[in-house]
Structure 1
Amino acid sequence: MEKRIGTFYGVSVGPGDPELMTLQAVRRLENCPVIAAPQTPKGGMLALDIAKGAVELSGKTILPLRFAMSLDPAVQKAAHIEAARAVKEYLDAGQDVAMLNLGDLSVYATFGYLQEILEAEGCKTVMLPGVTSFCAAAARLGQSLTGGMEQPLTIAPGRCAAEVLAAPGAKVLMKSGRQLPETLAALADAGLLSRSAMVCNCGLPNEEVWPDLADYDPARSAGYFATILVKEG
């Protein structure tokens, strides 16, 4: 009998509110014996906490994945290889593994790195989409991202604000918290502060909503999960 190899599932859990998880995600987690989730150096597992709000996970194997926050590509790659190795042990044992991802796993998510490594080793992977942070933030603000079918939309990390603000159409600046002073300065230089809004920790208990960034104190810190929406100038 041919040995069964498990499947590696990337499961999007949305930005924070468990009610935004898809039925597909819930069913996959219910049926998957091993749940892999990113873990911070302090032991926090936000994606797992979100999933627990929608799915009963008791009795399942929880596999913490520790990813380096370093900007050094070599350090990051080593962490990805180590995480993929930990996942593959379960796949080789015939167990499916579901990796939890905040927002949607196709947008600035760690899943893609592990997917590439494991597929190169012959493992099967499946992606389950979810609600992105910027779509949830737009809904929280009660505004359209594009305002119609003609306006382009640029999505970029917050650290790239200065490079993308000159592009036509609306902009989404994701994970802007760490570079917030620089991002606010770039918005001010472009005359776009009053056309920009920010939602921090969208859907989480510590959510903060700023409809007009012209009112935001640059000295005030924001969390890592700060999403800025910029209307076309």
Structure 2
Amino acid sequence: MKRGILYGVGVGPGDPELLTLKAVRILREANVVAMPDKGSGEQTARKIVQAYIEGKELLSCPTPMVRDKEVLAQSYEANADTLCALLDQGKNVAFITLGDPSVYSTYLYIHERVAERGYEARLIPGVPSFCAVAARLGISLCQGEERLLIVPASHSVEDCVDFPANQIYMKAGRRLGGLLETLEQHGRLEGAMAVSNCGMEEEQVWPRAADMDPESRYFSVLFAPGKDRD
């Protein structure tokens, strides 16, 4: 039996209208739609694609929100086992992931394991959250000779904050308050802007990031312009 193909499908930041035509086609043609399960009960990615997966076989893949590398590795291996079993049955699987699968995506760790086992695995790009945020704010992320630095704010940002570039901070979560304090201490909060839950019902736009509620949800993206930008 011919093996199936695994597709890592980027579904964008939240607005279903930002799904690409290719993503929609893959979702419609797939035999199984897989999705991450962080254990919180949230299924944001599923909500985005709901109109295209009615009647599909669905698979929840546990992806715990921990930093223990051994626990994570075991989870990725177990998910790869499950996906490969489906591929061995000749089923094509679309694994949905927020934003773009190449940008801070948990899915990539599973994708790599499946590909290393000799299975065909393809990435379907999606609209990254920071591009959607820039569009919502009506700004450019970089132009001319400007550089752009993308930072996972769930980790330390001290070695990034003074880098001479326009800066994107993603995944701040519970560290948002500390991030805002650090940016202010380094003179980077002035002119910074942000959007929480971009494209979702709970969307909040912050023309001044300094006004953000530190309790804003996990899906917050902050843009801090370079010090030389007018």
Q: TM-score range by the shorter chain?
A: over 0.9
2:125 & 2:89 partners in 1: Cα distance? 26
2:28 maps to which residue?
30
Cα RMSD (Å) of the superposition?
A: 1.2
Deviation at 1:120, TM superposition (A): 1.4
Per the alignment, residue 154 of structure 1 pairs with 149
- Residues in 1 aligned to 2:211 and 2:26: alpha-carbon distance in whole angstroms: 43
Which residue of structure 1 aligns with residue 218 of structure 2? 224
Q: How far apart are residue 123 of structure 1 and its match?
A: 0.6
Q: How many corresponding residue pairs? A: 226
Question: 1:116 aligned to 2:112?
Answer: yes
Cα distance between partner residues in 2 of 1:40 and 1:125: 23
- Matches for 1:78-97 after TM superposition, within 5 Å: 78-97=74-93
Deviation at 1:39, TM superposition (A): 1.8
Separation in 2, partners of 1:215, 1:119: 45
Partner secondary structure for residue 214 of structure 1? helix
Counterparts of residues 79-228 of structure 1 (less than 5 Å): 79-146=75-142, 148-158=143-153, 159-217=155-213, 220-228=214-222
Q: 96-105 or 195-204: which moved more?
A: 195-204
Correspondent of 1:58 among 48, 54, 59? 54
Letter in 1 for 2:148: L
Q: Deviations over 1:89-141 (max 9, x none)?
A: 11011101000010001000012101111111111001110100000001111
What SS class does the counterpart of residue 162 from structure 1 fall into?
coil
CA distance in 1, matches of 2:175, 2:76: 24
Once the two structures are TM-superposed, the CA of residue 161 in structure 1 deviates from its matched residue by: 2.5
CA contact under 8 A between 1:162 and 1:183: conserved in structure 2?
no
Match of 1:75 in 2: 71
Return structure 1 stretches of 4+ with deviation > 4 angstroms: none
**Displacement of 1:160 after TM fit?**
3.5
Distance 1:44 1:215 in 2: 27
Which consecutive residues of structure 1, in runs of 5 or more, have no partner in the other structure? none
Note the residue ranges of structure 2 that are not aligned, 5 or more in a row. none
Instruction: Give the structure-2-normalised TM-score.
Output: 0.95
C-alpha separation in 1, matches of 2:61 and 2:42? 11
The answer to whether the 8 A contact 2:37-2:64 is kept is no
Match of 1:49 in 2: 47
**SS where residue 199 of structure 1 aligns?**
strand
- Separation of aligned partners in 1, 2:174 and 2:131: 21
